[in-house]
Amino acid sequence: MKKSKQFFMVPYFLWIALFVVAPLLLILYQSLTDGQGHFTIQNYLTYGSSSVYLKMSLNSLWYAFLITVITLLISYPAAYILSRLKHQQLWLLLIILPTWINLLLKAYAFIGLFSRAGAVNHFLMFIGIGPKQILFSDFSFLLVASYIEIPFMILPIYNAIVQLDPALPNASRDLGASPWQTFRLVTFPLTLSGVKAGVQAVFIPSLSLFMLTRLIGGNRVITLGTAIEEHFLTTMNWGMGSTIGVILIVMMFVIMILTNDRKKKRREVLDDEKATH
């Protein structure tokens, strides 16, 4: 029995080894070589000593942070209201639906809306504000990126809220807590796992967005993804491209660890409390 179980694990291990571990090792290896294939850490030194790359990393983190905050601010109330509506399945479907449409198509649709002759500017002219430069600005980039990421934030939060036992907030209200206190001290902490999952699902992809930086940001918004694309396709410097890739991967691991550890600690605290009571 045990042996046959192990046998069925083979495809899984093969998959992980070939498509997860091997590519990561290849990227790491590429990042440690120069154009002629000699071992060197020059790429990392270049990265660390270049103000351009450091500023770009800062940009990436900053934009990813803003996108995450914006989506979170919109998604939590949305998920909360959603969990109290009548036709929840229908509303959920409406939120998931846009993720079925290709990212590029959505980006081009926004170009049409935001351009000088687009619908938004027509509206602005109609109400007397006059046409504004919307495309190629931080504003449009953040708006479109947030729009695209929102479903990935709403879904985990919604799941966490639905799984919350309604007896707990009810008890809190019965015991005299105000609605705000109930939310702050009971509902929110108990749905934090959903928030963390959402933050991971949004922050990590946002770090390396690059199609949108060109199409919507007009290359006025530059992130590490742009640099990777350029090193692989234009300068053919795979070493440097891989180095930036490794740095992005490290950043992602840091985010994962940061968002996971606290959960564990909180559980330990809860267990401790249980033990003492």
Nearer to another protein, 152 or 232 (CB): 232
Nearer to another protein, 117 or 275 (CB): 117
In angstroms, give the least distance from the CB of 31 to another protein. Answer: 16
Long-range contacts of 187-192 (CB under 8 A, 24+ apart): 187/161, 190/160, 190/164, 191/157, 191/160, 191/161, 191/164, 192/160, 192/263, 192/266
**What letter would DSSP give residue 219?**
T
105 is a site residue for another protein (CB under 8 A):
no
**Contacts (CB under 8 A) with another protein, residues 41-60:** 52, 55-56, 59
Nearer to another protein, 64 or 255 (CB): 64
Specify whether the CB–CB gap between 208 and 255 falls below 8 A.
no
Residue written as token pair 């991967």: 249
Number of residues that bind another protein (CB under 8 A): 27
Question: Would you give the binding string for another protein spanning residues 191-230, x where CB under 8 A is met?
Answer: -----------------------xx--xxx-x---xx--x
CA 199 centroid distance within chain: 6
**Contacts (CB under 8 A) with another protein, residues 107-126:** 111, 115-117
In angstroms, give the least distance from the CB of 111 to another protein. Answer: 8
In angstroms, give the least distance from the CB of 70 to another protein. Answer: 21
Specify whether the CB–CB gap between 60 and 254 falls below 8 A.
no
Please name the residues in contact with 39: beta carbons below 8 A apart, sequence gap of 6 or more: 32, 33
**What letter would DSSP give residue 35?**
T
Binding site for another protein (CB under 8 A): 35, 52, 55-56, 59, 111, 115-117, 133, 135-136, 214-215, 218-220, 222, 226-227, 230, 233-237, 240
